[in-house]
Amino acid sequence: MKLDGKVALVTGTSPNIMGGIAEGMAEEGANVVCVDINPAYAEKCAQAVKDLGREAITIACDVTDEAQVIAAVDLAKETFGGVDILVNGATVFNWKGVLDMPVDEWRRQTDVMLTGAFLFTKYAAKQMIDLGRKGNMINIISTAGHQGEPGNIGYGTAKGGLMNFTRSVAMELAKYGIRVNSLTPTATDRTEAFERAKRWGVEWPGPRGGQRSSGWLADPSTGSPLQKLPSPRHYAKAASFLASDEAEMITGTDLRVDAGAVAKYWIWDPSADAAP
Ligand SMILES: NC(=O)c1ccc[n+]([C@@H]2O[C@H](COP(=O)([O-])OP(=O)(O)OC[C@H]3O[C@@H](n4cnc5c(N)ncnc54)[C@H](O)[C@@H]3O)[C@@H](O)[C@H]2O)c1
């Protein structure tokens, strides 16, 4: 197993992507610290990790609250001896463009994605340095952080910022042997999230709280070069690899698990170019 005996702290553990990454890391042998502002998501994720035979703790925490972040990182140390892997995934979706976005909502959305990742990175890194742990960190981006998406200004801006935050922190922490990378998901098949929500016994409202952008493809898989959408388990495999010693020479990079979305030449329609 790739992560045997490692301790992963994962933020934003809904039954969708981060719950999938937490379970996937547990399948690779990691114990997991499940962090979410929604206590039910943190608790049910921790239970799912235990059901896989690993240890887990639940921390209800607002990632933008410095005192709560310090307490979470401290509790991880008290319980497991320290954090080896940090995965920053907590996110607020808010489908508004620059013309419609109220400044307080802009501040909150960018705060959760940027300040939340900044605080957990700061205190997890300090702990790793104090303990002499050569850990690693993964920031969850989005194809919307690589490309211009109308009507999603806070999200696209924060995700683009988080990608260069990743590179900057990777350079700063390299001398301590701490690796920092990002992982880019894209529009995601919802089947697994609904199945996981049912298994966990929680409600999951769907991506972006059920909101949908106008002007999207009716079936987003038709725009995907691989003609299907990734599921959380695909992100979990990639995250486990990045977090493992197999990736010991990888830092400051972004691993896209996007079915080819960012690489695609914009004028090409993959659905019109099916193999015979
Ligand atoms: N769903 C997609 O299609 C998609 C695509 C690309 C990237 N992503 C990224 O993947 C990650 C997970 O997305 P998801 O679809 O599973 O989202 P989700 O909405 O299902 O989960 C986000 C979680 O973050 C938590 N959260 C929000 N504010 C918080 C705060 N202040 N403190 C702590 N927790 C907080 C929520 O309670 C929720 O559990 C995010 O970083 C997202 O940007 C998602």
pLDDT digits over 26-63, tens only?
A: 999 999 999 999 999 999 999 999 999 999 999 999 99
Which tens digit of pLDDT belongs to each residue from 58-107? 999 999 999 999 999 999 999 999 999 999 999 999 999 999 999 999 99
CB within 8 A of 216, min separation 6: which ones?
Answer: none
Residue 91 alpha carbon to ligand 1 centre in Å: 4
Pick the CATH number of 7-272 from 1.10.3720.10, 3.40.50.720, 3.40.50.2000, 3.40.50.1700: 3.40.50.720
Mutate which of 10, 11, 16 for ligand 1? The one with the most ligand atoms within 8 Å of its CB, which is: 16
Q: What is the reported pLDDT for 141?
A: 98
Query: DSSP assignment, residue 268?
Result: -
Single-letter residue type at 260: G
Pocket of ligand 1 contains residue 58 by CB under 6 Å:
no
Which tens digit of pLDDT belongs to each residue from 205-254? 986 665 666 788 989 999 999 999 999 999 999 999 999 999 999 999 99
Q: What is the reported pLDDT for 209?
A: 60
**Protein residue with least CA distance to atom 25, ligand 1:** 12
Q: What is the reported pLDDT for 216?
A: 87
What's the rounded Cα separation, in Å, for the pair 29 and 121? 23
Provide the annotated active-site residues.
Answer: 155
Nearest to 155 by CA among 206, 98, 194: 98
**Protein residue with least CA distance to atom 18, ligand 1:** 14
Q: What is the reported pLDDT for 207?
A: 67
- Can you tell me which atom of ligand 1 is nearest the CA of 41? 39
Mean pLDDT, the chain, rounded, equals: 96
Q: What is the pTM of this model?
A: 0.98
In whole angstroms, what separates CA 204 from the centre of its chain? 17
Residue 205 alpha carbon to ligand 1 centre in Å: 12
What's the rounded Cα separation, in Å, for the pair 34 and 43? 7
Which tens digit of pLDDT belongs to each residue from 99-114? 999 999 999 999 999 9
Residue 12 alpha carbon to ligand 1 centre in Å: 5
Q: What is the reported pLDDT for 211?
A: 65
**Range 14-30 average pLDDT:** 98
Residue 15 alpha carbon to ligand 1 centre in Å: 10
